[in-house]
Structure 1
Amino acid sequence: MSDLKAQFEQAQKDVRKLTKKPSDNDLLALYSLFKQATEGDVSGPRPGMLNVVARAKYDAWAKLKGTKNDAAMKQYIAKVEELQKKLG
């Protein structure tokens, strides 16, 4: 397993240990970076406007279109580290 993949997996564990809940924007960022790192570009139709949460997730992920998996992993790790400093 590569160092980056190990760091990514550790960041996934660390984010669950935060003492305070991240903001909705931070949660969207984590979600979209995770999805981009693990699945690549968003696919499928955009959810309807009545499904606000799914649409927000889709849009956040769609903004990362074209981002390489490794780059998304690095950004995810950095985001978790930022949240650990901010939220404990």
Structure 2
Amino acid sequence: MDLHQQFEQAVADSKELSEKPSNDTLLQLYSLYKQASEGDVNVDAPSNPFDFVAKAKYEAWDALKGKSKEAAMQEYIDLVSKLKS
């Protein structure tokens, strides 16, 4: 199975975890997914200073700037594997 297939399988697996991950882990999954699927952040930062969720998601994704899509895919796969065990 190539990296893209493993990534797609990990995305599917992440939706069927037996326990809901912590907010920090969910944020990590989100940012790795965005980096793997879209690359560097390509949207403006949220304009509402009180939208803490959107701000956290944006900052987590922005922190991965420069990471290759392949590296982000592998980290996502590894994280989901760890969560499944």
Decide: shared fold, TM above 0.5.
yes
Q: Give, in angstroms, the shift of residue 54 of structure 1.
A: 0.5
Q: Deviations over 1:8-60 (max 9, x none)?
A: 00001111111110000000000000000000000222113211110000000
Residue aligning to 1:55 = 55
TM-score by length of 1: 0.91
The farther-off stretch of 68-77 and 45-54 is: 45-54
Inter-partner Cα distance in structure 1 for 2:41 and 2:23: 20
For these two proteins, the number of residue pairs brought into alignment is: 84
Inter-partner Cα distance in structure 1 for 2:9 and 2:18: 17
2:47 aligned with 1:27: no
Where do 4+ consecutive residues of structure 1 move more than 4 Å? none
Inter-partner Cα distance in structure 2 for 1:12 and 1:45: 25
The answer for unaligned runs of 5 or more in structure 2 is none
| Matching residue's letter, 1:49 | P
TM-score by length of 2: 0.94
